[in-house]
Each structure stands twice: as C-alpha cells, then as structure tokens.
Amino acid sequence: MNISLLLSVLLGFALVAAAANFNQDIAITWGDGRGKILENGHLLTLSLDNFSGSGFQSKNEYLFGKIDMNLKLVPGNSAGTVTTYYLRSQGSTWDEIDFEFLGNLTGEPYTVHTNVYCGGKGNREQQFRLWFDPTKDFHTYSVLWNPRRIIFSVDGTPIREFKNLESIGVPFPKSQPMRVYSSLWNADDWATRGGLIKTDWSKAPFTAAYRNYKADACVWSSGKSSCSASSPSRNSWLSQELDISSQQRLKWVQKNYMIYNYCADAKRFPQGLPKECTAP
C-alpha cells in the first residue's frame, strides 16, 4: 500500500468517526418500536400509525449551538400528520425554538411552522411554504442559536431571524439549556386546513426519515457549558450574523414563501404589536 492510499484510508476512518451517529447522539424516547435507528446509526426513522406516533431527543443539552438535521418528510397523503423538530428547555417557564411540518394531501404543499418561546410564552408564529418538495429528498433544517440571535435556515437559506432585543424589553432565551426533540404524531384535529382534513389511516404507517445530525454547540453538563465546533473557524457560529447576501435571501423567502407572520396580524394584538415587530 502506498503512502497516499494509506493516508486516504486513515483519513476516511477519521471522517467516518467524526460523522454524526444517531446511536451516540440521540435517544428514541417513545413510540414502542415506531422510532428506529438504522444503517449503523446513520439513518433514523419515525413512524405513526393509528395506535401511536414516535419521537426522540438528543442525549445532550445545549446552551447555544448550531444544530443541523437532514429530514425527508412523510410522502404522499400526509394530511393530519405533524413532524416536529425543536429545541426546548425543562420546566414551566421553558424556552423553545420550533420547527413543525404540517402534512397535506398528496400534491398539496406542506406548511413549515416556526415559533420562539421564552419563559413559557410563545405567540411568535411565522409560517412558510418551501421552494421544493420536502418529501422527495433529504434537506437540511438548521437552528442557529447564539447570544445575539436565533436563525432558522433551510438548506443554508435563512427563513427567519429572531434577534436578541432585550435592550428594548423583549425576552430572549439565553440561560436555560435545551435539548433537541423530534416527533411524528397525529394532529388531524387542527393541522391540515384547521382540522377539516383527517388522517387517512389506510395509508399508515407514515414515516419521516432523518440523517446527518450535527450539533456545533455548547454542551451543558453539571451546571457548566463547554463549547466545541468544527473547523474551519472554531466557534464561528457563536458570533454568526447574517451577511448581506444572506439578508437578501431571507427577504426573498419572506416575500415569496411566508404565509403567516404574527407581526402582520394586528387583529390578534389589539393592545399593539409585540415590541420586536416594530423595532427598527
């Protein structure tokens, strides 16, 4: 074996060892066998049938991080199903950063629902369509959470930014460690066209698939947080902000794909829109 071949074999091992592994990072927490870790930890599936859904959580808790996951959503008639993917802390005044994918009839678009909770209070919904069919292939859904901002992204394109505006009295999640959770469950009492369209159980089981979980994050353990991040620039996510081109892509998404914005829903806030909505 020549040196370069040897090197590439060794490098190959190093890459494999560094790649995400669900067996190491994730615990399936409910669903009685409906959640599965496959392919030596490289694929995870959740399923839902007329008895139960299923779900998992990250083994680690994080205080800030950039969390990426590839998801392939329930194909075909997924009406009534909800796939959630979120970060959440413990307790009654929890913080939470939410992605939820609301299924639909075959050929009708999914709704991507997002929300940010601080101290147990949410009411900050924004909803989007996607610019691709999320059931055909895996796509990357990311949450960047640092002390200055939360950025939701899809395939690297930011769809939402929630800034730290504590200076004007808007709460921001920054002191409670969160775990990553995901679940697939039935919500046909509200999910699709407000509950009008029911889950078609003859199509069950419904299955969503996950790959490439990646957490560049500060891991919380025994009251302390220790940050790690992959190269090239260590911990760059901790101070990351949107550059000009990302801001332009965010505007493009918000103009063309946003279907609900709490900040534009004046009826809902008769006392006035939340402060973050009118901040300069």
Ligand X SMILES: *[C@@H]1O[C@H](CO)[C@@H](O)[C@H](O)[C@H]1NC(C)=O
User: Where is 5: in which H helix or E strand?
Assistant: helix 3-18
| Active-site position among 96, 108, 161, 241 | 96
Contacts of 45 (CB under 8 A, 6+ apart): 35, 36, 38, 207, 208, 209, 210
Contact string (CB under 6 A) for ligand X, positions 181-200, x = contact: ----------xxx-------
- Is the backbone peptide bond immediately before 232 cis, with ω within 30 degrees of 0? yes
- 75 sits near ligand X (criterion: CB under 6 A): no
Known catalytic membership, residue 39: no
Known catalytic membership, residue 125: no
Give me the least distance between CB of 192 and ligand X, in Å please: 4
Exposed / middle / buried, residue 138 (Cβ in 10 Å: 0-12, 13-18, 19+): middle
Among 109, 138, 155, 242, the residue binding ligand X under the rule CB under 6 A is 109
- 83 sits near ligand X (criterion: CB under 6 A): no
Residue 77 φ/ψ, nearest 5 degrees: -80, 100
Give me the least distance between CB of 134 and ligand X, in Å please: 12
Among 47, 54, 70, 111, the residue binding ligand X under the rule CB under 6 A is 111
Quick one: 138 or 201, whose CB is closer to ligand X? 201
Instruction: Give the footprint of ligand X on residues 140-169 (CB under 6 A).
Output: none
User: Where is 22: in which H helix or E strand?
Assistant: helix 22-25
Structure tokens at 256: 């063309």
Q: What residues make contact with ligand X under the rule CB under 6 A?
A: 50, 102, 104, 108-109, 111, 191-193
Catalytic residues: 96, 100
